Amino acid sequence: MDWMSRNLPYLMAGISVGGQYALIAIGYTMVYGILRLINFAHGDIFMVAGLIMVYSTTVMPIYIAIPLMILVTVLLGFLVERVAYKPLRTAPRMSIMISAIGVSYLLQNLALYVTGGLSQQYPAIPWINDTVTLFGATTKRVTIITPILTIILVLLLVTLIKKTKIGMAMRAASRDFETSQLMGIKINSVISFTFIIGTFLAAIGSLLFFTNYTGVTPTAGAMPGLKAFVAAVFGGIGSIPGAVIGAFIIGICENIIKGLGWTTFSDAFTFALLIVILIAKPTGLFGEKVTDKV
Amino acid sequence: MSTKKKTAWNAGLIAALLILLFLLEQVMPSSSMLFTVLKKGAIYALVAVSMNLLNGFTGLFSLGQAGFMLLGAYTYAILTIPVEARNSVYQYFDGGIIQFALPVPVALIAGGIVAAIFAYLIGLPVLRLKSDYLAIATLGFAEIIRAVFQWDKLGPITNGSNLLRNFPSFRSVLFPFIVAGICIALIVMLINSTYGRAFKAIRDDEIAAEAMGINLAHHKRLAFVISSFFAGISGGLLAMYQTTIQASMFKSAMTYEILLIVVIGGIGSVTGSCISSFLFIACSEWWLRFLDNENLYIGGFHVPLLRPGFRKVVFAIVIMMVVLFYRQGIMGTKEFSIEGIANFFKRKPVGKKKKGGASHE
């Protein structure tokens, strides 16, 4: 029991962080599934969502600020796709990825300009920030809410993709981009919708993620973004359940490593895990096997 | 133009450039921003060309450049800190365990070799991966290397997460130019050799190249190791330029910057990478600096929005413009050469593909 209560906080933190990574990772994996693009700007959109929350709570009550933050973030994701990725639809894949890096660079520098490079205090959100005791371990309520909320959102998303017309269009587009266009699918609206869902989940993820941290800095999105992407690759990019499971595994492993006192290596371990899985199973845990046709 | 004549022209140009730099240094104050840009630009040109060798000529999308620069920079710094300065640098680790100092050129090459050895080891598993997977795996390796170098158990060698300093640096702008120039010339010679043609064949079509008898694994590994070797040397130069180094400097953002330089210069153009690295550094460090000045007046008009950090926003927007509307980059896949210019002035149709033009530096 003593061992349990000593290690439980790390495990719970791991599950919670895993849920937050999962919400970001879905954005990566869905965009990759359709456009074959590593959306490097996704982590920075996540950071911008945090900053919007910081600035909006200074002028309005929190119950207006949260929906507004989600709305503005979704709008940002939509605009990024329209301005930076849509004109490059026919360009080689490299250019669109460079464009994503450019957007990431722009968002970081913009955040640096607005914040003046200082870490911004994230507002304390009532209720989810309260302390609760679970199995003798004290933690914030957000730690318990995150995995539950993540699973609910993922189930909703999977239903959306499996049962609705737009979901069917998304599956078709990710299977074969050109043929789905020929079948009358409006590819631009499908892609926009993908970005909207991705950024919506990232906005919720940022709400949960930054509650656990004291501040938002212009580069705060880079590491979680990269790890969420690793989680998506780990689970097999293009697969939503894969991304979620990958994110939970990475979140838990990372916190166990921290619990063992190897904090320096918590980031490195994530990447080591990724490389091991890629070598053993090059398309990730649940990825589709690709065969090259000559 | 005959090959001999071309070589003579190029040699003459390089000599003229070096003399010009030498004269500039005599005339202008050494604190001028021009020299900062030239030094840093030469170093970035080298690492950009080394990345171009992988991304542009071999078609291997690797994002590990910052990691290999870190290896080069650390090897250089660890091997050259004078023995008498070691106690103050390694103050938390009893002066470290290395108690000798090597001469600068040896240490620079050692930095390259260490990076190359690591690249060989990393390449064994990673080079089997394709495109994006390779990119993310190499990015991951760069992050792992960064974490390992900050580990305090390795402190007696790497000084943990503390600064390394007191190693020899360069004062003249000629030094980075000559070193980077030699390295880039070597890369150009490699690209024009049989190996280079094999690399290009792999880039254009792996399966066809294999069918033609090119050993894929061998050539990919070769390109990866050579590219990392030169990234290591440029890391050593960067350490010399900055006079202090720390593992936390070599973030993935650094790799992205180098990738942007390569793309802006044109993927598959050595001279493009060189030109764009100077432009990139000049824009980010020098030409846009006035935008950070809060009290800028044009006539009697107080320009709004200006405050520290605005320069980088404008710079990022400029980069986005280039990426969106100028997809081929400055040079495309062409090379800058005397012949090209001569043809341009003669208004003669340029030959099928402009060739030659070793490092124009």
Nearest to A272 among B144, B150, B307 (CB): B144
Please report residues of B whose CB lies closer than 8 A to that of A222.
251-253
Chain A residues whose C-beta sits inside 8 Å of any chain B C-beta: 32, 36, 38, 40, 84, 87-88, 91, 94-95, 98-99, 101-106, 109-110, 112-113, 116-117, 219, 222, 226, 229-230, 233, 237, 264-265, 267-268, 270-272, 274-275, 278-279, 282, 292, 294
Nearest to A109 among B147, B148, B313 (CB): B313
Nearest chain A residue (CA) to B149: A264
Chain A: give the shortest CA distance to residue B311, in Å.
9
Task: Collect all residues with Cβ–Cβ distance below 8 Å to B55 and sequence separation of at least 6.
Answer: B61, B62, B259, B262, B267
- Count how many domains chain A has: 1
pLDDT at residue B121 is higher than 80: yes
Local confidence band at B359 (pLDDT 50, 70, 90 cut-offs): very low
Please report residues of A whose CB lies closer than 8 A to that of B51.
none
Q: Among A275, A292, A293, which would you mutate to test the B interface (most chain B Cβ atoms within 10 Å of its Cβ)?
A: A275
How is chain A classified by DSSP, letter by letter? Answer: -HHHHHHHHHHHHHHHHHHHHHHHHHHHHHHHHHH----TTHHHHHHHHHHHHHHHHHHS-HHHHHHHHHHHHHHHHHHHIIIIIGGGTTS-HHHHHHHHHHHHHHHHHHHHHHHTTPPEEPPPPTTTTSEEEETTEEEEHHHHHHHHHHHHHHHHHHHHHHHSHHHHHHHHHHH-HHHHHHTT--HHHHHHHHHHHHHHHHHHHHHHHHHTSSEE-TTTTHHHHHHHHHHHHHH-TT-HHHHHHHHHHHHHHHHHHHHTT-GGGHHHHHHHHHHHHHHHSTT-SSPPP-----
What is the pLDDT at residue B261? 92
Burial of residue B12, with CB atoms counted within 10 A of its CB: 0-12 exposed, 13-18 middle, 19 or more buried = exposed
Chain B: give the shortest CA distance to residue A76, in Å.
16
In a domain, A1, yes or no: no
In a domain, A216, yes or no: yes
Chain A: give the shortest CA distance to residue B239, in Å.
23
In a domain, A237, yes or no: no
Q: Among B133, B141, B314, which would you mutate to test the A interface (most chain A Cβ atoms within 10 Å of its Cβ)?
A: B133
In a domain, A108, yes or no: yes
Please report residues of B whose CB lies closer than 8 A to that of A265.
147, 151
Q: Rounded to whole angstroms, how far apart are CA atoms A82 and A188?
A: 9
Query: Is B264 or B355 the better-scoring residue by pLDDT?
Result: B264
What is the pLDDT at residue B209? 92
Please report residues of B whose CB lies closer than 8 A to that of A281.
none
Cβ(A116)–Cβ(A53) below 8 Å: no
Chain B: give the shortest CA distance to residue A62, in Å.
29
Angle at A129 between CA A123 and CA A132, to 5 degrees: 165
Chain B: give the shortest CA distance to residue A63, in Å.
31
Question: Considering only CA atoms, which of A168, A67, A54, A283 is closest in space to residue B130?
Answer: A283
Local confidence band at B300 (pLDDT 50, 70, 90 cut-offs): low
Token digits of residue B256: 């992205």
Q: Rounded to whole angstroms, how far apart are CA atoms A106 and A92?
A: 22
Nearest to B323 among A38, A102, A116 (CB): A102
In single-letter form, the type of residue at position A56 comes to S
pLDDT at residue B103 is higher than 80: yes
Nearest to B320 among A84, A267, A278 (CB): A84
Task: Collect all residues with Cβ–Cβ distance below 8 Å to B134 and sequence separation of at least 6.
Answer: B60, B61, B62, B126, B127
In single-letter form, the type of residue at position A123 comes to P
> What are the structural domain ranges in chain B?
32-250
Local confidence band at B46 (pLDDT 50, 70, 90 cut-offs): very high
Cβ(A12)–Cβ(A147) below 8 Å: no
The DSSP symbol for B287 reads I
Task: Collect all residues with Cβ–Cβ distance below 8 Å to B8 and sequence separation of at least 6.
Answer: none
Q: Rounded to whole angstroms, how far apart are CA atoms A4 and A11?
A: 10
Contact at CB, A38 and B252, closer than 8 angstroms: no
Chain A: give the shortest CA distance to residue B250, in Å.
14
Please report residues of A whose CB lies closer than 8 A to that of B61.
94
Task: Collect all residues with Cβ–Cβ distance below 8 Å to A253 and sequence separation of at least 6.
Answer: A14, A269, A270, A273
pTM, two decimal places: 0.88
In a domain, A181, yes or no: yes
pLDDT at residue B268 is higher than 90: no
In a domain, A239, yes or no: no
Token digits of residue A279: 């070598």
Neighbouring CB atoms inside 10 A of A78's CB total: 15
Nearest chain A residue (CA) to B61: A94
In a domain, A214, yes or no: yes
- Best-predicted range by mean pLDDT (A128-137, A263-272, B285-294, B329-338): A263-272
Chain A: give the shortest CA distance to residue B154, in Å.
12
> In the predicted model, what is the mean pLDDT of chain B?
85
Chain centroid to CA A99: 19
Query: Is B227 or B128 the better-scoring residue by pLDDT?
Result: B227
Nearest chain A residue (CA) to B145: A268
| B201-to-A74, A94, A270, B27, B267 alpha-carbon distances in Å | 43, 18, 35, 48, 15
Q: Rounded to whole angstroms, how far apart are CA atoms A294 and B208?
A: 9
Nearest to A229 among B129, B136, B150 (CB): B136
In single-letter form, the type of residue at position B358 comes to A
Contact at CB, B136 and A268, closer than 8 angstroms: no
Cβ(A8)–Cβ(A137) below 8 Å: yes
Contact at CB, B320 and A40, closer than 8 angstroms: no
| B314-to-A79, A107, A117 alpha-carbon distances in Å | 19, 12, 16
Taking only the tens place, the pLDDT of each residue in B224-260 is 999 999 999 999 999 999 988 988 888 888 999 999 9
CA dihedral A97, A99, A105, A106 (to 10 degrees): -150
Per-residue pLDDT of chain A (294 residues), as tens digits, is 566 667 777 888 888 899 999 999 999 999 988 888 888 899 999 999 999 999 998 888 888 999 999 999 999 999 999 999 998 888 888 888 889 999 999 999 999 888 887 888 888 887 777 777 777 677 788 888 889 999 999 999 999 999 999 999 998 988 888 898 898 899 999 999 999 999 999 999 999 898 887 788 888 888 889 899 889 988 888 888 899 999 999 999 988 888 887 887 888 888 888 888 888 887 888 877 666 666
Local confidence band at B350 (pLDDT 50, 70, 90 cut-offs): very low
Neighbouring CB atoms inside 10 A of B191's CB total: 21
Nearest chain A residue (CA) to B327: A95
Contact at CB, B125 and A279, closer than 8 angstroms: yes
Taking only the tens place, the pLDDT of each residue in B160-207 is 888 888 888 887 888 899 999 999 999 999 999 999 999 999 999 889
Counting residues of chain B whose pLDDT is more than 70, the rounded percentage is 94
Local confidence band at B357 (pLDDT 50, 70, 90 cut-offs): very low
Radius of gyration of chain B (CA): 21
Q: Rounded to whole angstroms, how far apart are CA atoms A214 and A227?
A: 20
Nearest to B137 among A237, A268, A274 (CB): A274
Chain B: give the shortest CA distance to residue A265, in Å.
6
Q: Specify the DSSP element, H or E, that contains B21.
A: helix B3-27
Burial of residue B18, with CB atoms counted within 10 A of its CB: 0-12 exposed, 13-18 middle, 19 or more buried = middle
Taking only the tens place, the pLDDT of each residue in B51-73 is 999 988 998 888 999 999 999 99
Domain range for A189? 22-222
Cβ(B42)–Cβ(B176) below 8 Å: yes
Angle at B253 between CA B250 and CA B259, to 5 degrees: 105
Nearest chain A residue (CA) to B319: A102
Cβ(A255)–Cβ(A10) below 8 Å: yes
